[in-house]
A and B are shown apart, each in its own frame.
Chain A
Amino acid sequence: MDVLINLSLNGLATGMLIFLLAAGLTLIFGLMDVLNFAHGGLFAWGAYSGTWIYATTGSFLIAIAGAILTGLILGLLTERWIIKPVYGNHVQQILITLGLMLVLSELLKVVWGPNQISASPPSYLAGSWELGNVIIIKYRVFIIAVGILVFGLVQYILKNTKIGLIVRAGVMDKEMVQALGINIQKVFMLVFMIGAGMAALGGAMLGPYSGVIYAEMGLEFAILAFIVVVIGGMGSFPGSILAAILVGVSGSFMAYYVPSLSLAVNMLLMAVVLIFRPQGLFGLKG
């Protein structure tokens, strides 16, 4: 039983980190029709900037805030300079964002060196609780709590504010939103920044979870995030959290019981969903 609980918590924590990356990706794709392969790079920049700020200031909260700010700024620059000129052209988007992904990864090596950097949680989030035979690692619970908090906050904004309504409407029909007098470009920029900020937050929290960070980590997580976007349904925010938990938990269980299939299980999940529900679990038809 203790193994099951630990595997579930581990899977949930991983799922929440993937969710933070995938949520931005799905909103960016749904609203802006942009395939952003550089999103993983923003995640990695969040990890590096967060780890560096934590090492410099000693404050984990400042590190998290700094990582989010890094993501917001990089998101703004990426949308204005890289993405805006290639709106509506998928081939150019893929090429330019893949290129940007490589540039972002290499820049990390230029700034912080090519070696892995170790990271650890602050003392108040280190260690574990023991409930009978079950050992619950505090940092995992923290990641799950932050993931739920971010989901709740973004979901609240999407459901209850005018800007949230505009984003949801824009995912369905961008042209009509503009015909109602709304500057969709500004909304694009805001969504891109928020998506980048969430990715950076995920990256900043991954460091102390995995113990090390490295420049290529963004690409590895971006692949998982793309799988989550497809399973959850492109453009669906609730779909992204459900799919991320599914991917995280199944990966965690498979890594324990059938390690050789731990990577294949995500692809298998995606294939099954695509066969029975091509638009994804929460995606709209057509």
Chain B
Amino acid sequence: MSTQLKLSEVETYIGQYHILQGVSFEVREGEVTVLLGRNGAGKTTTLRTIMGLNPPSKGEVIYKGEVIQGLPTYTVAQKGIGYVPEDQGIFSGLTVEENMKVAMKNNDDATKERLDWILELFPDLKKFWKKQGGLLSGGQKQMLSIARAYINENDLLLIDEPSKGLAPIVVEKVMETILQMKEKTTIVLVEQNFMMASTIGDKFYIIDDGKTVSEGSMNLLKEDEEMRRKYLGIA
């Protein structure tokens, strides 16, 4: 499997705060790479840096062999990277249908097929097709956000804490969906819910104080109680 995304010693400031101080990792095609770490470690900033929302001050972000740091966010997205932000980024005053239409780059058969597949996965979106995004439940908003990132033929999805604030039953549904998406696309997942991360993930990187401090296969982390306790605060 080839390397799809590579970050090398990436440093990012937000205002005067030095948030990322050396983040490096590789994402291989077809895998789910999970970024783990405590709150405030820099996981969300890492995804925002890849998207160009918080451009790095040092280091390199390479996507499919091309340097993408410094590119405007819309160009990064046009290269085939879908983004599901932590706050879901739903356009609250637009309907579910309109939220999807804003995201759709094309209106061809392939897009329609993807839409049908998504609506089969998330029947609630079909049910509330004409409902305003702001009136959806937390879980439905998350589904809409994932659906919107998936509607175009993106080769890489960046998903930020999809389980955050959701009821356990909804988390299961979101997890099932990501597992199905895994068959079709490469995913970088930021997740605090270790059960979810370990079920979906193939590889993990731990970010602590803005630096990548550990990496390996997810199976390795499942067995390493000491590492989980040290960096994630869980046994």
Question: Bound state CA distance, A181 and B152, in angstroms?
Answer: 10
Quick check: B93 and A177 within 8 Å, CB to CB?
no
User: Which of the segments B5-13, B77-85, B115-123, B227-235 contacts the partner chain?
Assistant: B77-85
Q: Which of A181-203 contact B (CB under 8 A)?
A: 181-184
Q: Which of B86-106 contact A (CB under 8 A)?
A: 89, 91-94, 98-99, 101-103, 105
Quick check: A175 and B73 within 8 Å, CB to CB?
yes
Instruction: Provide the main secondary structure of the chain A interface.
Output: helix
Quick check: B78 and A179 within 8 Å, CB to CB?
no
Residues of A within 8 A of B101 (CB): 162, 165
Given contacts A176-B85, A176-B91, contact A181 B74 (CB under 8 A): yes
Asked if B203 is at the interface of the complex by the 8 Å CB criterion, the answer is no
Residues of A within 8 A of B83 (CB): 179
Question: Bound state CA distance, A183 and B53, in angstroms?
Answer: 13
Asked if B51 is at the interface of the complex by the 8 Å CB criterion, the answer is yes
Q: How many residues of A contact B (CB 8 A)?
A: 19
Query: Closest residue to B154 on the A side, CB-wise?
Result: A181
Residues of A within 8 A of B93 (CB): 168, 171-172, 284
Asked if B72 is at the interface of the complex by the 8 Å CB criterion, the answer is yes
Nearest Cβ on chain A to B76's Cβ, whole angstroms: 8
Quick check: B77 and A172 within 8 Å, CB to CB?
no
Quick check: B91 and A172 within 8 Å, CB to CB?
yes
Quick check: A172 and B92 within 8 Å, CB to CB?
yes
CB contact between B72 and one of A166, A180, A183 (< 8 Å): that residue: A183
Residues of A within 8 A of B141 (CB): none
Asked if A173 is at the interface of the complex by the 8 Å CB criterion, the answer is yes
Nearest Cβ on chain B to A181's Cβ, whole angstroms: 4
Residues of A within 8 A of B77 (CB): 178-181
Question: Bound state CA distance, A178 and B55, in angstroms?
Answer: 14
Q: Which of A101-148 contact B (CB under 8 A)?
A: none
Q: Which of A233-249 contact B (CB under 8 A)?
A: none
Quick check: B78 and A181 within 8 Å, CB to CB?
yes
Given contacts A173-B89, A175-B53, A176-B85, contact A181 B94 (CB under 8 A): no
CB contact between B102 and one of A166, A175, A284 (< 8 Å): that residue: A166
Question: Bound state CA distance, A183 and B52, in angstroms?
Answer: 13
Residues of B within 8 A of A263 (CB): none
Residues of B within 8 A of A169 (CB): 91, 94, 98-99, 102
Question: Bound state CA distance, A171 and B92, in angstroms?
Answer: 11
Residues of B within 8 A of A171 (CB): 93
Nearest Cβ on chain B to A185's Cβ, whole angstroms: 8
Q: Which of B48-82 contact A (CB under 8 A)?
A: 51, 53, 72-74, 77-78
In the complex, per-residue mask of B152-194: 1 if CB is within 8 Å of any chain A CB, else 0? 1000000000000000000000000000000000000000000
6 nearest A-B residue pairs (beta carbon): A181-B77, A176-B89, A178-B73, A169-B91, A181-B78, A179-B83
Contacts from B to A (Cβ < 8 Å): 51, 53, 72-74, 77-78, 83, 85, 89, 91-94, 98-99, 101-103, 105, 148, 152
- Given A165-B102, A168-B91, A168-B93, 14 other A-B residues pairs in contact with their CB atoms under 8 A: A169-B91, A173-B89, A175-B73, A176-B91, A178-B72, A179-B77, A179-B83, A179-B85, A181-B152, A182-B102, A183-B72, A184-B74, A284-B92, A284-B93
15 contacts between A and B (CB under 8 A): A165-B98, A168-B93, A168-B94, A169-B91, A175-B73, A177-B102, A178-B53, A178-B73, A179-B77, A180-B74, A180-B102, A181-B152, A183-B74, A284-B92, A284-B93
